[in-house]
């Protein structure tokens, strides 16, 4: 494989989410974070864990707030009503 092809394959992609979308997606990922102790995670699970970790770092101030449940509820409503 050529260097150009390898570089194109490993190119970083950027996905833009609104803060409410990120909160909802993070919570969804975290709620499914219960792998079997005997299972070896596949590549898909590994990617989801990486995304979850990156979101957690970015959303930590919100996640640690005592009113996080209210923030999440508002974010869910916003995602459902925002049609952009």
Domain assignment present for residue 50? The answer is yes
User: What span, in angstroms and rounded, lies between the C-alpha atoms of 84 and 82?
Assistant: 6
Rounded distance between C-alpha atoms, residue 77 and residue 50, angstroms: 26
Report how many domains make up the chain: 1
pLDDT at 9: 76
Sequence-ordered alpha helix ranges (H) in the chain: 3-9, 19-31, 43-63, 68-81
pTM of the model: 0.79
Averaged over 57-61, what is the pLDDT? Answer: 96
Within 8 A by CB and 6+ apart from 19, the residues are: 59, 62, 75
Q: Which domain holds residue 74?
A: 17-81
* Residue 8 belongs to some domain of the structure: no
Residue 8: pLDDT band (50, 70, 90) is low
């Amino acid at each position: 494989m050529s260097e150009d092809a390898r570089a194109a394959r490993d190119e970083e992609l950027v996905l833009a989410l609104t803060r409410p979308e990120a909160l909802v997606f993070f919570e969804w990922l975290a709620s499914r974070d219960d792998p079997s102790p005997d299972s070896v995670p596949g590549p898909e699970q590994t990617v989801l864990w990486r995304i979850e970790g990156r979101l957690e770092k970015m959303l930590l101030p919100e996640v640690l707030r005592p009113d996080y449940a209210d923030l999440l509820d508002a974010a869910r409503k916003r995602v459902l009503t925002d049609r952009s």
